[in-house]
Amino acid sequence: METQIKENMDNPVQLEKLYRSDKKSFEKAFFEIYPEIAHHQIADFWKARLEPDPLSKSDVRRTDIYFLVVTCLITGFLVKLPQVFDFNPVDNLFYEKNVGLIVLAGLSVFSFLTANQLKIKNLIISVVIFILSAVYINLLPTGGEHNSVVLAYLHLPLFLWCLYGLIYINFNTKDKLKRMEYVRYNGDMAILIAIILIAGGILTALTLGLFSAIDLKIERFYFDYIVIPGLVVSPVVATYIVKNFPSITSKIAPVIAGIFSPLVLITLTAFLISVFVTGKDPYNDRDFLLIFNLMLFGVMAVVVFSVSGLSVNRKYSLKVLILFALSIVTLVVDLIALSAILYRLGEFGFTPNRTAVLGSNLLIFGNLALITIDLFKVAFKGKELKTVEQTIAGYFPVYMVWVIFVTVGLPLIFGVK
């Protein structure tokens, strides 16, 4: 290898081929003969390329581990506040109100700690919003089951998820590609969280089994101080993995999306046929309509994450056709859901739940219609997949405005008592 490098110092193309053929041998040979070839200008280029970064990967990971530990401790402490201050979390609906806030606060803390450049203005804005959100949600009444309050509990985490997205992209609202990076990150994180939880479940079963074998009952302690904190810190741990091992994690989501997209298409098509064959009525069956809507949200998430995965894998012609077909079927599902919601509104009038579901379905229908049009252009008109990404990214502010309206507006309109 040393001889080949010397002979091709004036042939950059051949040097690149040698490097790609055996990177380790090339690197070793290059540094051994560097004193002999240092007079060549291209040698300085290869030296800069092959030398380890002053801030090596191990140093970055070590620093991030410290930040990971700090963030996990903070998040774990927040989720154990009922035990620290000795109050009943059930009576105060502590977890219903605050668990999403705590998880997203932990993710935001980790993001700020590991940021390449910390902007004080962004930090202050984020802290103020988190504090106001915590005060607002905990001032809402805990007695009774008013639907507008329950919707606020459910939608505040979605609003904070949008805020965390701004933190993740460093408040760069003009670059839509940054928003798609956030979508891809969420897909990678969701998969890693599932893996972490499966591994945690196995460890829990093993631990409890071992201690029960020696007649020690640690279930309550283990659940309170290991399981609950572990659940809330798992997104932070997953984020650490995504950040420090992107070459591994970035390959998982496209594979998962490629497997599940056709399966979801088959399942959804079979479901629609079964609905018509069995005569199931979404118009008068409230529970069935709820399941119908949950399925719609899930399929919409599959479409969005699949598109973000396709942008990583450039061989996507067949996959685009599958997503196009899936989008059309999902639009049919959404139309059925919308007609059922409008029917129930006409029969029973407006309630917080019906208002929230109607608005969410209309937003999804509009977004999905635009995505379907763009997928058609990509599949049959030769457009780039980037147009679909821009449509998805451009719609995010619409969702954020709606989430704020449901969280704050519906309790004001329908009352909280």
Q: pLDDT digit string (tens) for 70-87?
A: 999 999 999 888 888 877
3-state secondary structure 34-81: HHHHCCCHHHHHHHHHHCCCCCCHHHHHHHHHHHHHHHHHHHHHHHCH
Are the C-beta atoms of residues 376 and 324 closer than 8 Å to each other?
yes
Residue 393 falls within a domain, yes or no?
Answer: no
The verdict on 159 and 176 lying in the same domain is yes
Residue 397 falls within a domain, yes or no?
Answer: no
Query: What is the rounded CA–CA span in Å between residue 291 and residue 284?
Result: 13
Query: What is the rounded CA–CA span in Å between residue 43 and residue 51?
Result: 12
The residue range of the domain holding 305 is 251-383
* Residue-wise pLDDT tens digits, 293-321: 777 777 888 888 777 766 555 556 778 88
The verdict on 239 and 320 lying in the same domain is no
Predicted pLDDT of residue 415 = 73
The verdict on 82 and 213 lying in the same domain is yes
The verdict on 198 and 292 lying in the same domain is no
The verdict on 87 and 153 lying in the same domain is yes
Long-range contact set of residues 117-123: C-beta below 8 Å, sequence gap at least 24: 117/170, 119/170, 119/171, 122/166, 122/167, 122/170, 122/171
Q: Which residue has the tokens 């071992």?
A: 210
Number of domains the chain is built from: 3
In this predicted structure, which of 107-111, 199-203, 219-223 has the lowest mean pLDDT?
219-223
Query: What is the rounded CA–CA span in Å between residue 402 and residue 415?
Result: 18
Which residue type sits at 184?
R
The verdict on 170 and 148 lying in the same domain is yes
The verdict on 213 and 357 lying in the same domain is no
Residue 416 falls within a domain, yes or no?
Answer: no
* Residue-wise pLDDT tens digits, 323-361: 889 889 888 888 888 888 888 888 878 888 888 888 888
Residue 406 falls within a domain, yes or no?
Answer: no
* Residue-wise pLDDT tens digits, 239-271: 998 888 776 766 676 777 777 788 888 888 888
Phi-psi category of residue 143: left, alpha or beta, with phi > 0 → left and psi -120 to 50 → alpha: beta
Residue 217 falls within a domain, yes or no?
Answer: yes
Query: Which residues lie closer than 8 Å to 339 by C-beta, 6 or more apart?
Result: 283
Token pair of 356 as six digits? 């929230």
Last residue of a domain, one of 195, 228, 247: 247
Query: Which residues lie closer than 8 Å to 136 by C-beta, 6 or more apart?
Result: 156, 408
The verdict on 232 and 325 lying in the same domain is no
What pTM value is reported for the model? 0.76
pLDDT at 36 over 60: yes
- Which residue, among 310, 324, 309, 326, has the nearest Cα to 381 in the 3D structure? 324
Last residue of a domain, one of 247, 280, 307: 247
Residue 413 falls within a domain, yes or no?
Answer: no
The verdict on 164 and 95 lying in the same domain is yes
Residue 414 falls within a domain, yes or no?
Answer: no
The verdict on 179 and 127 lying in the same domain is yes
The verdict on 218 and 356 lying in the same domain is no
Query: What is the rounded CA–CA span in Å between residue 363 and residue 357?
Result: 10
Residue 394 falls within a domain, yes or no?
Answer: no
The verdict on 140 and 40 lying in the same domain is no
- Which residue, among 171, 35, 153, has the nearest Cα to 101 in the 3D structure? 153
Are the C-beta atoms of residues 34 and 43 closer than 8 Å to each other?
yes
* Residue-wise pLDDT tens digits, 176-215: 778 888 888 888 888 889 889 999 999 999 998 888 888 8
